[in-house]
Amino acid sequence: MPTIAVLLPCYNEEAAIAQTVAGFRAALPDATIYVYDNNSADRTVQVAREAGAVVRAERVQGKGAVVRRMFADVDADVYVMADGDATYDAASAPALVARLLDEQLDMVVGSRVHEAADAYRRGHRFGNAVLTGMLARLFGRSFTDILSGYRVFSRRFVKSYPALSTGFEIETDISVHALELRMPVAEVETPYFARPEGSASKLSTYGDGWRILRTILTLYRIERPLLFFAIIGAVFALLAVGLSIPLALTYAHTGLVPRFPTAIAATGLVILAALSVFAGLILDTVVRGRREVRRLAYLAHQAPSKEPSYDA
């Protein structure tokens, strides 16, 4: 069978990591379970080792940094990524893996179905819905749960993904990467549980929400530069028109242009509008070339299959 690696990024999860490792060990007995510790101050490392996981460390703080390290270091045919807080249903992992292999997909997202009222805070649920809707508007399609940390990847996704994000916006970045390259992906509903007693969330509703929103806007500027800068140019042009209308009316009645600073400002805004559009055109050409390179890097790896491609 294809080799499977379970990847669990952890930060201060002493209370939950043993339960998480045991759950994935029972669900995927042939998989290798990796726990990547991110400078925990508790006994996460010791507990994970005692539970039978392969424990490694990433010193650069942030979930994105941990994911980048995991994707670079671990070799497998299929990668199952979840959090180490026992909130994701390990028993659903075989179904996610089977879906990926049967349909030769590159990513299957475990869309969260909340099993307890306190499993997913209302603010986070609302923020997820807003960000999911924004992503669908900006990129044409989306997932129902772009912030889910429960995902199964093919080898060609993992080894062609640049992983540039550093924090909890990594899930958004992963989703956009799959959408931009038009990878075959799917979603499967999975239960989502409350954290066990003694485990505390590391998320900040407003702080991480703002970072994710900023990531979406930044990715939109990078991936859709023509429309992004065209909108900026249109704003400059509208301001120029608004300033020039009174000047035009005055000139029509008197033949004079009495407010030279306003005329100069309107002219400057028109120039800025034109420059914005030309910048968008140039960057759009650059983005197309960069997307072709990413696509070729993606196609350099085999599609997921039930036959092993990685020689362990």
**What does each of the 312 residues of the chain score in pLDDT, given as a tens digit?**
799 999 999 999 999 999 999 999 999 999 999 999 999 999 999 999 999 999 999 999 999 999 999 999 999 999 999 999 999 999 999 999 999 999 999 999 999 887 555 545 555 667 677 777 777 777 777 788 888 999 999 999 999 998 877 766 788 889 888 988 889 999 999 999 887 766 666 556 566 667 767 777 777 788 789 988 999 999 999 999 998 888 888 878 887 777 788 888 999 999 999 999 999 999 999 988 888 888 888 988 888 877 655 544
Contacts of 57 (CB under 8 A, 6+ apart): 36, 37, 38, 39, 45
Token pair 């990591």: residue: 17
Residues sharing a CB contact under 8 Å with residue 208, sequence separation 6 or more, in sequence order: 167, 168, 169
Residue type at position 241: V
Q: Three-state SS string across 282-299, please? A: HHHHHHHHHHHHHHHHHH
Task: Give Cβ neighbours of residue 158 (< 8 Å, ≥ 6 apart).
Answer: 71, 79
φ, ψ at 182 (rounded to 5°)? 55, 45
Whether 5 contacts 78, CB under 8 Å: yes
Contact 80, 96 (CB under 8 A): yes
Amino acid, res. 29: P
Q: How far apart are CA 305 and CA 144, in angstroms?
A: 26
Using the 8-state DSSP alphabet, how is residue 88 labeled?
B
pLDDT of residue 312: 44
Could you give the dihedral angle defined by the CA atoms of residues 168, 215, 137 and 120, in that order, rounded to the nearest 10 degrees? 20
β-bridge partners, 141? none
- C-alpha count within 13 angstroms, C-beta hemisphere, residue 86: 20
Q: How far apart are CA 157 and CA 33, in angstroms?
A: 19
Please report which residue ranges of 118-224 form alpha helices under DSSP H. 122-139, 155-158, 170-180, 205-223
Residue tagged 């075959």 (tokens): 184
Residue pair 93/28 in contact by the 8 Å Cβ criterion: yes
pLDDT (tens digit, 9 = 90+) per residue, 95-106?
Answer: 999 999 999 999
Backbone phi, psi, residue 195, to 5°: -65, 150
| Predicted TM-score (pTM) of this structure | 0.80
CA distance 312 to 298: 21
CB atoms within 10 A of CB 300: 10
Q: In what order do the strands lie in the sheet with 78-81?
A: 54-57, 32-37, 4-10, 78-81, 151-154, 107-114, 185-192
- Is the separation of the CB atoms in 95 and 187 below 8 Å? no
State both tokens at 11: 């930060």
Helices and strands (H and E) in the chain: how many: 10, 7
Structure tokens at 263: 């005329």
